[in-house]
Chain A
Amino acid sequence: MSIATNWFKLKKWKPFAFQKETWKAIAEDKSGLLNSPTGSGKTFAIWFGVLEAYYEKPNTKKNKKQETGLHCLWITPLRALSKEILLATQQVSKDLELDYKIALRTGDTTTAERAKQRKRSPQALITTPESIHILLASKEYDKFFSGLEFIIVDEWHELMGSKRGVQVELALSRLKAINPDLKIWGISATIGNMEEAKEILLTDRMANAVTIKADLEKKIIIETIYPDVVEKYSWVGHLGIKLLPKIIPIIDKSNTTLIFVNVRSQAEIWYQKLLEEAPHLAGQMALHHGSLSEDTRKWVEDNLHNGKLKAVVCTSSLDLGVDFHSVDSVIQIGSPKGIARFMQRAGRSGHHPGAFSKIWFVPTNSLEIIEGSAIRYAIENNLLENRVPYVRSFDVLIQYMVTLAVSDGFTADKLFDEIKSTHCYKSITREEFNWCLDFIVTGGNSLKVYDEYHKVVFIDGLYKVTNRTIAMRHRLSVGTIVSDSMMHVKFMGGKKIGMVEENFISKLKNGDVFWFGGRNLELVLVKDMEARVKASKKNTGIVPAWLGGRLPLSYQLSNSIRKQLDDYKNKDIHNEELKQLAPLLELQNKVSFLPGKNELLIEQFKTREGYHLFVYPFEGRFVHEGMAAILAYRIGLLEPFTFSIAMNDYGFELLSDKKVDMDLILDNNLFSPEFIYDDVLKSMNSIELANRKFRDIATIAGLIFTGYPGHQKKTRHIQASSQLFFKVFEDYEKDNLLLRQAYDEILDFQLEIIRMQNAFNRISQHKVIVTYPEKPTPFSFPILVDTLREKFSNEEIQSRIDKILNSVQKNEV
């Protein structure tokens, strides 16, 4: 351990136990998973293991004092992180005068730099999943990787729940085939399914692998901010801004405060309101979210680093990444939605040894106060969410097949064996694999005559891409992150402000004012996918409502909330949150009922709008959406009804113009957990949902080409919308695997089908309590007010058109 010992001595530091443990495991040729939070010295835990292996072990190649080639690949999900790791590792080489060279390889790396790296490779490359696949798409990549000994996958918990994780799995399967002795190390924060995360990453290396846990978890202190009076009827957003004056003293007292909100539009609003309320923060406060330009975000991050900012309003864009040492306070506005996410945010503060993380929770409606209690309970009991890995992603497989065909080609049998060894594709059959192969070779054509399909060809026993245009287009399209159609927002002078959804801009007229990036902007003109703007003096502007970003409450957090309600019901009022909520919960109990652990509450009452039926499973909005649709569908089978559906994270509502007989629901066992899968597909407009999902899949699989950078026009003749593909596949290729994948992804991720099934199982064991309150209850009020109202409709397209036409024509008269 001479290198590590020397360096730590030089720095006058003492290594942590987990660091020593990791060095030892690496020295014993083990692979492993290092479970460690960010900023805990995890980089050095791995790094010195890698260096020792390089220098200390007798290896024929190294003694020859010649090109040793690439020795270690370090994969990170974030460019900001890769920069930090580069600096830290380069410093080690410099301090100890080692000839071990480290370089970056990301989307930003210049062509010249890439060429240099290929010619004379550094010992280590710090890179992203996409960049590795681009390397796999270059000729003779196997030579380039032939000396590789280590792959480090940083923030694996983050990658694992996305298709980028699938890219990592595929790259590993290929690189292991080139280097059978390759050692794999993952670094992951704590998640619910740690063991699964390890298995997915290490697969056949599990037998000789360890898990090392850095026992450095900081204590998290949660403090809820309460209103002076807890109002009993309160809706989302109603409370949040009201509590704003109470967070200003926190900001004033702290060094630097991060204020986390859940969606970008909320960030814009809070930034604006904070400035109004506390003008003294002007110039010391900033805004950070995913739609702002990279320059702006970098400016904010730099100023966080050097402690020049007092407060930053941000979204999940600052969840991950580099640590900012000046941050000593974190505020969460609104429901944290998940426990791991909340802990990660809390962990952004208090980096000094022995310090704890302090986080304030600001509820946005009265009932949300309960989440302060629930999250504390969940953290104490270590209830962390699982990361659900993608499986059977045919789009990524098709992209990968073409990647290999672009470089040196592949043989079907060997590739099939390799991908079968990954978690993602272990269940695919040879028929499905052949379908993918057929898709890239013949274009899935049933009609051989007339066809001029050209992509991958089979020559000399290998599947290859021979056409240079196709190869180039493929290299430009490698990746699995598909962004919405976004428009650049720029000042007239050309300075970039950020990106806004095209959809939002298309609704504005020239001269309209909108609030973005913390500024009031007037739209001047839209040209070439750019919105040109100028600063406006008007005080009112609309805030872009970005689509998506509306996460449901996690399973673990929902569970904890039900536990808190049960505790209260059993007079176990163990914290301030429950005390504060007492008046609201008492009222709920008085006018309706307060459900305990094994009870499901249903409320029915009538207002001017019609007959309301409220159900409170406390399972998060996605599951509620599916449950509501299934219940509506099942009622519809017994008696014709038309329902409007509304939901939040706690419950859902069915609204109808005639009364639903409760006996109809209870006697016919409409909450039965059977046939959930069939019923949800029949009840939801699954075609439309899948159609939306299909855009990502079609792009990843290479059906949609977004154009050469700067040369959009050249490719116009080969551009079509994903809807067009979806429609044509639905009409002519029902068995298309990409189409089926769209439906599967809807079920797994949009409807959370497994969670929904479990919820139905749970509820079927519950006692159903039905109440008939005279007016809205504290539980139902937030849902009543929520505007998210979807008409439940299950009609065929033609009758739907006729229906819409009728209502349109009625309006015209």
Chain B
Amino acid sequence: MKYKYTEINLAGEDFYLLPQKAIYRPRLKQLIISDLHLGKASHFRKQGIAIPIESHLKDIDKLHFLIDSWKPLSVLILGDLFHSDYNKEWLWFKSLLLQYSQIQFILVEGNHDILKDDNYKVPNLLKAEYLIEEDFIFSHHPLKQNNKINFCGHIHPGIKLFGEAKQSVTLPCFYHNKFQFILPAFGHLTGLYQLEREEYASYYLVLQDKVIKL
């Protein structure tokens, strides 16, 4: 299935913004996602809060779909892969890793990634605090720096749109200003943080089947 994406160019390189709340980077054949918060449903359920677990299956399915469609060489995850302490949902993700053993997965650590190190011991999974390239720096938290473009997550950005007659809707978005590129949260069980509109920033809204620039 082919679907619509929005192409942008940063520091001379092309990036595709996908409506699945991910980025594809054709030069490196790399998928970038952020803030999956896997295991959140199980974590809640362990504490006696009955949230349906099926929603996380949807996130895993979405990841399968992206990998099958784009056939990337690597998948870069900008933190908050797993929501909290260990629970069995980790096994879902592990089996996905094993299934795509030829693909390199890289996890840039987020504040939620508190699993014991043993759990990350999978041959095709790498864990790092930051990832630095010539023009870009990848992290979970937005970094205060002004040399390179910082790809990051953590915020779960959303933007509120007002229509006529007091109607409004808040949608997830990619946020871009001079030194920062913030990804929307990939996970289904996440909220949105409502951004204030800034003059010198761009916003790419995620709709059901397309990404559009505001």
**A interface residue numbers (CB < 8 A to B):** 439-440, 443-447, 450-456, 467, 469-470, 473, 644, 702-703, 705, 717-718, 720-721, 723-725, 728-729, 731-733, 789-791, 793, 797-798, 800-801, 803-805, 807-808, 812
Contacts and interface: CB of A to CB of B under 8 A. Distances in A.
B117 interface: no
Interface string B167-195: 11101000000000000000011110000
Contacts of B40: 720
Interface in B67-110: 83-84, 87-89, 91-92
Contacts of B51: 443, 703, 720, 725, 728
Centre residue among B40, B50, B162, B171 by max chain A CB count within 10 A: B50
Contacts of A797: 169
Contacts of B55: 728, 731-732
Interface stretch (B4-12, B41-49, B124-132, B143-151): B41-49
B161 A790 contact: no
Contacts, number: 126
A9 B181 CA distance: 84
A791 B50 CA distance: 36
A473 B46 CA distance: 13
B118 interface: no
**7 closest Cβ contacts across the A-B interface?**
A791-B165, A455-B48, A804-B163, A443-B50, A732-B52, A453-B45, A717-B84
Contacts of B54: 446-447, 731-732
B165 A702 contact: no
Nearest to A792: B165
A453 B46 contact: yes
Given A721-B191, A732-B55, 7 more contacts: A452-B46, A454-B45, A455-B48, A469-B47, A473-B48, A720-B189, A731-B54
A793 B166 CA distance: 11
Contact of B53 (A445, A470, A800): A445
B50 A455 contact: yes
Given A451-B42, A718-B43, A732-B52, A805 B166 contact: no
Contacts of B45: 443, 445, 451-454
A803 B214 CA distance: 14
8 contacts: A450-B89, A454-B46, A718-B49, A720-B51, A728-B52, A729-B52, A731-B55, A793-B167
Given A718-B43, A798-B208, A789 B166 contact: yes
Contacts of A808: 161-163, 214
Interface residues of B, number: 43
Contacts of B191: 720-721, 723-724
A401 to B, nearest CB: 12
Contacts of A804: 161-163, 167-169
B164 interface: yes
Contact of A790 (B48, B84, B165): B165
B112 to A, nearest CB: 8
Interface in B28-62: 40, 42-55, 57
B82 to A, nearest CB: 11
Contacts of B49: 443, 455, 702-703, 705, 718
A467 to B, nearest CB: 7
Contacts of B201: none
B132 to A, nearest CB: 30
Contacts of B162: 804, 808
B140 to A, nearest CB: 16
A450 B92 contact: yes
A443 B50 CA distance: 5
B24 to A, nearest CB: 24
Contacts of A446: 54
Contacts of A644: 165
A701 to B, nearest CB: 9
A445 to B, nearest CB: 7
Contacts of A445: 45, 50, 52-53
Nearest to B114: A717
Contact of B43 (A450, A705, A717, A805): A717
Contacts of A439: 50
Nearest to A704: B49
B163 A450 contact: no
B50 A703 contact: yes
B115 interface: no
Contacts of B43: 717-718
Contact of A800 (B46, B169, B189, B190): B169
A797 B27 CA distance: 36
Contacts of A725: 51
A450 B91 contact: yes
